[in-house]
Amino acid sequence: MVTTESTAPSTAPTPLSATNFDPASFDFNAYLTAQRQQVETALKQSIEVVYPEQIYEAMRYSLLAGGKRLRPILCLATCELAGGNPALAMPTACALEMVHTMSLIHDDLPSMDNDDYRRGRLTNHKVYGEDVANLAGDALLAYAFEFIAAHTPNVPAERVLQVIQRLGRAVGAAGLVGGQIVDLASEGQSDVTLETLNFIHMHKTAALLEVSVVSGALLAGASEAALTHLTRYAQNIGLAFQIVDDVLDITSTQAELGKSIGKDEAAQKATYPSLLGLEASQQRAEQLIQTAKAELADFGEARQPLLALADYITARTH
């Protein structure tokens, strides 16, 4: 068992259970709001501002800037789906958001996408400078692994190690970083294929969503068969998520998205609309969501949150 002493608050909030709802009248908006509130509370408690204050303030600036909190919510949902207490998955859920936030901080840097706004306010490097923003992202990434190891109680150590291993793979050269490298190499290229674009986003976007889904179930002791279905579910919603992002970059406004729009076209990036067209991209996203939902057929009524979260991906406007 993982028995490492924790400096986190002893009264960590317990996520709202999906079983509190009648599946026939499942209120997804209420569920989503409650889960976000639980995640926000846990994130605020996860990092204290101590000396040297500037780095902790920069970490908290981006971590607590809001957002959908989709990755931690998926982690909590699959933990419960697999019969676990979602409170046990909250440290991992927070760590997933730390890693995601790191990726946003680094993605916004002038050496990457050079964005001025994220989640409706100035990007980290615009507030703290490029040097501090780089270090804030690095610190969040390192702390994410520490947080899982130090604050996951009453879970067999081998399960925690599996989560740490999968998260490391998802964020490294075999995952997010590998996708980003191919993405950068493809900028301005007129011969980018759909196969290459799929590779980019299966690694850059879907890999972290996949570990978000699978880690919650792993902590709960899910079977290999369940993990296989959840992996395929996650891969499909991950690709659909990116397609919708590409579509919104064309159809939405900066106020709606909370970040700059039209950046992909300006950077001459290959996107799903540029290769498939807008309508075909939207249809492809919907097909992926339906395929993802089909992977949940054997999970019974407990699958309601994951079904609703899949639909939420294509219905979102930001």
Predicted pLDDT at 138? 98
* Nearest to 216, CA basis, from 73, 112, 114, 312: 73
Both tokens assigned to 309: 């979260």
Predicted pLDDT at 263? 63
Q: Where are the beta strands (DSSP E) in 67-192?
A: 117-118, 121-122
Sorted by where each begins, the domain ranges of the chain are 41-315
Predicted pLDDT at 316? 79
Predicted pLDDT at 19? 43
Give the position of tokens 């994410």: 144
* Nearest to 77, CA basis, from 215, 216, 211, 227: 216
Mean pLDDT, the chain cut into blocks of 10 residues (318 residues total): 34 39 74 97 98 98 96 98 96 98 96 91 97 98 98 96 98 96 92 95 96 98 97 97 92 62 69 94 96 96 95 82
Distance (Å, whole) CA 99 – CA 204? 12
Predicted pLDDT at 317? 67
Predicted pLDDT at 25? 73
- Helix (H), strand (E) at residue 309: helix 304-315
What CA–CA distances, in Å, run from 114 to 67, 81, 175, 244, 270? Answer: 20, 39, 22, 21, 17
The answer to whether the CB of 178 falls within 8 A of the CB of 170 is no
Amino acid at 187: E
Predicted pLDDT at 272? 94
Predicted pLDDT at 314? 86
Predicted pLDDT at 7? 35
- 106 has which bridge partners? none
Both tokens assigned to 52: 């040297």
Predicted pLDDT at 262? 60
Query: What share of the chain in percent tops pLDDT 70?
Result: 87
Burial classification of residue 19, based on how many CB atoms lie within 10 Å of its CB (0-12 exposed, 13-18 middle, 19 or more buried) = exposed
Distance (Å, whole) CA 289 – CA 238? 9
Q: Which CATH superfamily is domain 41-315 in?
A: Farnesyl Diphosphate Synthase (1.10.600.10)
What CA–CA distances, in Å, run from 203 to 30, 105, 186, 265, 316? Answer: 32, 18, 14, 21, 22
**Cβ-based neighbour number of residue 237 at 10 Å:** 29
The answer to whether the CB of 238 falls within 8 A of the CB of 206 is yes
DSSP state of 117: E
DSSP state of 296: T
pTM of the model: 0.89
The answer to whether the CB of 18 falls within 8 A of the CB of 80 is yes
